[in-house]
Structure 1
Amino acid sequence: MVDFALFDTRGYPTVDVRTGYAGWVDSYEQTVQDAMDVDVLARLAVPVWPDARTAVDLGCGTGRTGAWLRDRGVGAIDGVDLTPEMLHRARDRGAHRSLTEADLAATGLPAAAYDLAACSLVDEHLADLAPLYREAHRLVRPGGLLVLVGLHPAFIMSAGMPTHYDGPDGPVAITTHVHLVSDHLTAGLAANWQLAEMREQTVGDEWIALKPKWSRHRGQPVSAAYVWRKV
């Protein structure tokens, strides 16, 4: 892990994850772009989404990823998140079979119960990736997949921008960490996952149409997706 403070160009007041997402919940759906995560998931070649009869959505938030997985034919989906306010929105959305308030490192869900674990836009909030990879490995059956997508470390470093939202008194940052690609590979391999696919998405016309100010980032990686198989 690299200290985000080395790259922070914003200096926003910073809050912990649970506080931040509770404060962001009302505007979250209008802020997060599909190009960050689900559009990247859609380009992956290895996952055959309807083959997943059961899935766990780690860091399910308002249920965006869960709804996307359900629409792709994934069966029963259990969601886990640290923030009660986010879980309330996910419950209203109705994409999940169950919703659990828990730390992603210790979900309390049964071992080897899922064909798929999905984790979207979460890793930058974790000080250590290893517990997430270990817990996902415990939850997934042999032959099952972990699909993780998040902001690319190169983008976080070059943009100098933490995950943030507009609070009543101005922008508020949520605790952000920079995990290099090698940090993911090290944590995944140490947890006995086998890397099956990786995709890095760059800033192109689609992103610049959404955020014209990002034209200076054209060609830079913005998202990274990892597909791991439990052997």
Structure 2
Amino acid sequence: MVDFARFDARHYPTLGVREGYAAWAPTYEDTVVDLMDLRLLERLQIQWRAAGRVLDLACGTGRIGAWLRAKGVQRIDGVDLTPQMLAQAREKGVYEGLTVGDITDTGIPSDRYNLITQSLADEHLPDLGPLYAEAFRLARPGGGFVLVGYHPWFLMSGIPTHFDRAPGEPVAIESHVHLFSDHVRAALGAGWRLATLEEGVIDDAWVARKAKWDQYRDRPVSFAFVWLKP
């Protein structure tokens, strides 16, 4: 892990994870960009309809759960730290079970899921080891773990996860920089095997959405690891 404070170019007031996402919950789906994660998920060579039982870690408002259901996944559970986010996920009606909890220590029985997903949350963890270990514990033998994240290059460009708490009042959520080597070390240490890695870059679609990001064109903004449990 590299301390994000060394790269912070915005110097926004910073909130803790639970407090930050509680404040962001009312506007989260209006501001998060599908290009960050859903477009990467579309690129993965996964038979989603045949995925079986899926756990959506850090499920938030249920964006990923809704996407999974649209892909034909029938059995989805979700875990998130923030009750305000889970309230919106519950309204989507795509989850069998929703739990308020820590994604590194869910309390869910072991070997329960064919596939585990986690999107846009790893940068809020000071240490990746407990996340990969918990996902490995929860996955059935032969199961998978799909992790989509905010690219460390973009964080190291000084832009934290942030939102407007009120008009003209940007705030950041506590962030940590994890290099890809940190992910590989933590995942292999937990027992995972790497299947694939995809990266998303700033392109025309991004610039059409965020014109000011033209200065970052062709730079990586997000990534997706797919891990397999032997």
Q: Does the pair score TM above 0.5?
A: yes
Measured in 1, the distance between the counterparts of 2:2 and 2:55 equals: 29
Amino acid paired to 2:23: G
Measured in 1, the distance between the counterparts of 2:50 and 2:185 equals: 28
Number of residue pairs aligned between Structure 1 and Structure 2: 229
Amino acid paired to 1:65: I
Aligned to 2:100: 101
**CA shift at 1:75, angstroms?**
2.2
Measured in 2, the distance between the counterparts of 1:124 and 1:189 equals: 19
Measured in 2, the distance between the counterparts of 1:42 and 1:19 equals: 31
Aligned to 1:164: 162
Aligned to 2:60: 61
Measured in 2, the distance between the counterparts of 1:166 and 1:182 equals: 32
Measured in 1, the distance between the counterparts of 2:177 and 2:111 equals: 30
Deviation by residue 1:168-226 (Cα, 9 ceiling, x = unmatched): 37111110111001111111100000000100111111111111111110111111100
How do residues 64-103 of structure 1 correspond to structure 2 at under 5 angstroms? 64-103=63-102
Aligned to 1:145: 144
Query: RMSD of the alignment, in Å?
Result: 0.8
Runs of at least 5 residues in structure 1 that lack an aligned partner in the other structure: none
How do residues 1-231 of structure 1 correspond to structure 2 at under 5 angstroms? 1-45=1-45, 47-158=46-157, 160-168=158-166, 170-231=169-230
**CA shift at 1:112, angstroms?**
0.6
**CA shift at 1:94, angstroms?**
1.1
3-state SS of 2:26 partner: coil
Amino acid paired to 2:8: D
| % identical equivalent positions | 56
Amino acid paired to 2:200: Q
Measured in 1, the distance between the counterparts of 2:221 and 2:13 equals: 24
Runs of at least 5 residues in structure 2 that lack an aligned partner in the other structure: none
